[in-house]
Amino acid sequence: MAHIEVAEDIVSDTFLAATEIWSTKGLPDNPRAWLYTVAKNKTKNYLKRDALFQQKLSPEIQYDTADTEEFELDLSVKNIGDSQLAMIFTVCNPQISTESQVALALNLLCGFGIQEIADAYLTNKEVVYKRLNRAKEKLKELNISIGQPSLTEIHLRMDNVLTTLYLLFSEGYYSMAQNTTLRRDFCTEAMRLVYMLTDHDHTNLPKVNALLSLMCFHASRFDARSDQNGEAILYQDQDESLWNMELIDRGKYYLGLSATGGQLSKYHLEAGIAYWHTHKEDTPEKWDQILQLYNNLLILEYSPIVALNRTFALAKANGKRAAIAEAEKLKLTDNHFYYSLLGNLYTDIDNTVALQHYQQALTMAVSNAEKLTISRHIQQLGGVPGNEYGI
């Protein structure tokens, strides 16, 4: 961990070289192998230069540079996977704050930029930047090495590892930092890393299977979530024939595997909610089940966003007026989802108020896809969205 900045620089230089060379000479036969080879060579050159530099600084000390002349990397799929798991458990060290652990893992292992981490945490870039710097300095100070975690470390760090992967999937499932509502690359990477956890005896835990189940259920509806223009398609308007039944079956399989032991995690409850959303028909049983799962989720781990999502289920189960009363208590006035939900709930009850909420949501929306969706609701209510949104 003491050399993490050097490693980041080598990775950045490698990708820059790929951009320059591939754009003129074309894609190599094995791009992954090309990247690893170039990164390895850059690492060897750095180690040689560093050894010579240190020898010039301290000529009385004899440096043995034999180890820097030749070394091989095991680039097998298994070793790469094991190394990634070792790295994520190393970063999730209990001697740094939970927020810093997750931020650092998202940054180093998952490719999150500062703004994307800030969006995932509902905070600003300056806070995230400070967290990352403090975490790196602490790990250097502790002289942390990267290695396979012990059983004790797995037990102590698993929750933060799962939080990291959950946030990675969530950012992909609803991206706030890009001009899109869906980043499949983030979701796919999160699912791959969680699957790797299920493939190791000591990390194949019920809550890990529950998280993978949740991801499978959500991923099953990817193709139905947006149209050709990138506009989000609301759940009730989705084409069920576009849902991936194979992923739904996998979600059921992992949900079944999660039903062991005596611990109930938030991932179990969220997977249950996602499972019921794979049943398109609006039945009282469905929304009663979803509402009860949300109630238990809020008891287990309160979140204002979860409370906001619960109000939609409440509207389906008990009517819009009951949901409005609950939603307005939340006062999430810095969140455009809050105003979008209120716009939805007030529609056909008080369309003037609904229009005001949608207009407020439009001013706060981040991506063009969000703005298109909100603008369509404004038009349906007889309003006129601003020309700056291209509507």
| 158 and 113 part of one domain | yes
Q: In this structure, are 195 and 82 located in the same domain?
A: yes
pLDDT digits (tens, 9 = 90+) for 189-206: 889 989 999 988 889 999
Residue that finishes a domain, picked among 203, 219, 238: 203
CA distance 240 to 224: 7
Q: Return the percentage of the chain with pLDDT > 90, whole number.
A: 47
Q: Would you say residue 386 has pLDDT above 50?
A: yes
Q: Are residues 154 and 273 in the same domain?
A: no
- Note whether residue 381 is domain-resident: no
**By percentage, how much of the chain surpasses pLDDT 70?**
90
Pick the closest to residue 16 from 51, 42, 53 (CA basis).
42
The pLDDT score that the predictor gives to residue 102 is: 80
Q: Whole-structure pTM over 0.95, yes or no?
A: no
Give the domain extent around 35: 1-73
Considering only CA atoms, give the Rg of the chain: 24
Burial 284-300 (b: 16+ CB within 10 A, else e): eebbebbbebbeebeee
In a domain, 326, yes or no: no
Q: Which of 95, 92, 94, 87 is nearest to 103 (CA)?
A: 92
Check whether residue 87 and residue 185 sit in a common domain: yes
In-domain check, residue 386:
no
Give the span between the Cα atoms of 92 and 103, in whole angstroms. 10
pLDDT digits (tens, 9 = 90+) for 291-307: 999 999 999 999 999 99
Give the pair of three-digit tokens for residue 262.
């005596």
Calpha distance 294→290 (Å, rounded): 6
Same domain, 244 and 263: yes
State the Cα–Cα distance between residues 194 and 101, nearest whole angstrom: 17
d(CA 145, CA 143): 6
pLDDT tens per residue across span 37-86: 899 899 888 888 877 777 777 665 555 545 545 566 676 777 777 788 88
Of the residues 203, 234, 251, the one at which a domain ends: 203
| pLDDT at position 325 over 70 | yes
Q: Is residue 285 part of a domain?
A: no
- Count the domains in the chain: 3
Last-in-domain residue among 149, 175, 203:
203
Residues 6+ apart with CB under 8 A from 258: 206, 207, 209, 210, 213, 267, 268, 271
Question: Are 66 and 79 part of one and the same domain?
Answer: no
- Do both 47 and 160 map to the same domain? no
pLDDT digits (tens, 9 = 90+) for 81-106: 778 888 888 888 888 888 888 888 88
Reported as a single tens digit per residue, the pLDDT across 137-180 is 888 888 888 888 889 989 999 998 999 889 888 877 876 554 55
**Pair 107, 167 in one domain:** yes
Tell me, yes or no, whether 184 and 269 share the same domain: no
* Residue 345 covered by a domain: no
Q: What is the pLDDT of residue 372?
A: 84
Residue 316 lies in a domain: no
121 and 107 belong to one structural domain: yes
